[in-house]
Amino acid sequence: MERLLEIDWETLHEILTKNTLVQVLLTIVTTLMIQLTLRYLIGVFARNVIRRNRYSGKIDARKQEKTLRGILSTTAGVIIWIIAVLVMLTQVGFQLSTLLTSAGLVGVIIGFGAQGVIRDFVAGLFVLGENQYRVGDVIKLQVAGIQLSGTVEDVTIRITRLRDLDGNLHVVSNGLAQSVTNLSYKYANVNIDVEVAYDTDIDLVEKVINEIGQKMARSDTWSRSIFEPIQFLRIDGFTSSGMRIKSLGRVEPAEQWAVAGEFRRRLKKEFDAHEIRFSGDDSGEEE
């Protein structure tokens, strides 16, 4: 029995040390196990880091945690697989020392790729370190004179994936973004302009706007989205056809469009009920 066990171990040792295919498969399996383990550890690390910081709410914390976890996991995965590929090349007989010390190859790599990759890498670190935007944020990116806007689906150390309202996915190198506008950081404003006729009772307009804002802030549907109810702010200007009224409120990030749409719907019904006439176009913006 002992003799059989000895032969088995010797055979196994010979297979592992001399069979190239088995060695490559073991390297792949080991790399996958290391990657899964690191992904779990990175998730624990990201969760603990975020809990030590103070955020305005659970949504911001979740966004930051998901972004940090994604960037660290991607970076770790790239490094692990680069090492694994080098090991497998060695196992199949490539002379890496000759390959890596080739001045011509190294020069081509640096000349054509390294500068751009380093630029994107550094920009990605600033995106994460300065908390410019997170996965789930709605942002605008200025890239080569073109403005792209949408929801951040993924952020890695090198690229940002942005999904616009038409469903198009924009993949942007972090180093190419000239400016970033975050439309959903901590809070958002609902900034609405409406124009009414000159003969309108302004006090009545103010009362109607404030009542609608208060009712929405107390409603079961909208109360969680509204930090400060929309209210009458001022007469913002005069036009050839009427007075421009500005209303302002503060809401949950990325909820400004839905809240503004519901506010306009209710405002139209109340204005009709009180015979308040609109004049000109509603040119309100949500920021």
137 and 124 belong to one structural domain: yes
pLDDT 10s digits, 35-79? 888 888 877 777 776 666 655 556 666 766 777 777 777 778 878
257 and 197 together in one domain: yes
Token pair of 179, please?
């400016």
Q: Give the pLDDT band of residue 102 (cuts 50, 70, 90).
A: low
Q: Residue 89: give the domain boundaries.
A: 2-94
pLDDT at 88: 80
Q: Give the CATH number, domain containing residue 203.
A: 3.30.70.100
Indicate if 114 and 154 belong to the same structural domain. yes
Residues 86 and 110 in one domain: no
What is the number of structural domains in the chain? 3
Between residues 75 and 256, the one the model is more confident about = 256
Boundary of a domain, candidates 184, 205, 231: 184
Give the pLDDT confidence of 114-148 residue by residue, as tens digits: 566 677 777 777 777 777 888 888 888 888 888 89
* Residue 285 confidence class, pLDDT cut points 50, 70, 90: very low
Clarify whether residues 60 and 109 are in a common domain: no
Per-residue confidence at 4, pLDDT binned at 50, 70, 90?
Answer: very low
Residues 240, 196 share a domain: yes
Q: Which of 63, 78, 94 is the last residue of a domain?
A: 94
DSSP output for 185-218: SS-EEEEEEEEE-TTS-HHHHHHHHHHHHHHHHH
Residue with tokens 């790399």: 31
Q: Are residues 6 and 27 in the same domain?
A: yes
Residues 201 and 282 in one domain: yes
273 and 192 part of one domain = yes
φ/ψ region of 189 (left if φ > 0, alpha if ψ in -120 to 50, else beta) reads beta
Give the domain-ending residue among 143, 169, 184.
184
